[in-house]
């Protein structure tokens, strides 16, 4: 399965970190990570594929998808996020159902739940299940579009085709995606239970403290960008009762900031 990596920097330290996290957390993952480049081409390997694309964000994504069929399943994984914890057993169930064509009702499957996924404005009461017994809620829109997830090519392609040709900064895409409606013939789902816990790699152009600490722990090269050693940014809730030190730091820092408001 092609894993489409949205990155907009030929300095691939953050991309390398994201991929290494998948190799560590899910050693037998089925992905071939498709990475865009403009100037610095990488070496193709069994699990890495480098694709030359135009420089703009929109054309980068469309270039990565250009030779793929609309109904082909891919793994959408922006390198601005990386897996901290994965319930690989359950995620593999989802992958098998997709790969064996048992998920015809779905065009995208998200398996990391943020708090807003508990609100009715984000998902509907339409529910489906698969042969493994996993329950899925239909999503009302593109909420949490940027989280890693399984998706058919047409879901990503149709969204980016409606973006402007030039996007001044990546942050603007958060607003753009909110103003786009999901086509009536596309069905986006999320699991009823959260099966993943992600860390943010960067925030406002700076490397987050959690990503910096993770890269150091894995002995990976640190990118030559600003590092915010007080910014811990995680998505979701840890899957186990073991709350990591970075997660607790995030909670403490946010608590102190709220007190100061």
pLDDT tens per residue across span 79-105: 999 999 999 999 999 999 999 888 889
State how far the Cα of 135 lies from the Cα of 167, in Å rounded to an integer: 36
The CATH number assigned to the domain with range 2-198 reads 3.90.550
- The structural domains of the chain, with segments of one domain joined by +, span 2-198
137-178, pLDDT tens digit by residue? Answer: 898 889 889 999 999 999 999 999 999 998 888 889 999 999
Q: What is the CA radius of gyration of the chain?
A: 18
Which contiguous run of DSSP H or E holds residue 160? Answer: helix 153-161
Supply the pTM of this predicted model. Answer: 0.89
Q: Give the mean pLDDT of the chain.
A: 88
Residue 10 predicted with pLDDT over 60: no
pLDDT digits (tens, 9 = 90+) for 207-217: 999 999 999 99
pLDDT given for residue 238 in this prediction: 86
Q: pLDDT value at position 256?
A: 59
* pLDDT confidence bin for 237, thresholds 50/70/90: confident
Pairing of the two strands 202-203 and 206-208: antiparallel
Contacts by 219-223 with C-beta closer than 8 Å and gap 24+? 220/13, 220/16, 220/17, 220/20, 221/13, 221/16, 222/13, 223/11, 223/13, 223/14
Higher pLDDT, 251 or 237: 237
pLDDT at 155: 98
pLDDT score for 229: 87
Identify the residue with better confidence: 252 or 189.
189
Average pLDDT over residues 121-141: 79
């Amino acid at each position: 399965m092609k894993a489409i990596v949205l990155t907009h920097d030929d300095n691939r330290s953050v991309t390398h970190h994201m991929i290494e996290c998948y190799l560590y957390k899910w050693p037998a993952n089925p992905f071939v990570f498709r990475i865009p480049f403009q100037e610095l081409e990488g070496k193709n390997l069994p699990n890495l594929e480098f694709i030359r694309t135009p420089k703009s964000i929109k054309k980068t994504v469309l270039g990565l998808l250009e030779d793929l069929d609309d109904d082909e399943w891919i793994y959408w994984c922006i390198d601005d996020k990386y897996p901290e914890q994965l319930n690989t057993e359950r995620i593999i169930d989802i992958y098998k159902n997709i790969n064996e064509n048992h998920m015809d009702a779905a065009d995208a499957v998200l398996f990391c739940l943020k708090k807003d996924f508990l609100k009715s404005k984000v998902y509907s009461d339409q529910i489906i299940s698969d042969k493994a017994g996993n329950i899925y809620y239909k999503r009302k829109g593109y909420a949490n579009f940027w989280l890693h997830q399984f998706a058919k090519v047409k879901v990503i392609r149709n969204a980016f085709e409606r973006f402007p040709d030039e996007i001044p900064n990546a942050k603007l895409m958060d607003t753009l995606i909110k103003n786009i409606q999901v086509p009536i013939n596309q069905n986006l789902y999320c699991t009823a239970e959260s099966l993943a816990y992600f860390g943010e790699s960067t925030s406002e152009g700076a490397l987050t403290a959690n990503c910096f600490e993770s890269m150091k722990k894995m002995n990976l090269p640190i990118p030559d960008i600003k590092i915010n050693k007080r910014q811990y940014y995680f998505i979701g809730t840890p899957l186990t009762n073991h709350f990591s030190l970075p997660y607790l730091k995030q909670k403490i820092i946010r608590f102190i900031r709220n007190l100061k408001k």
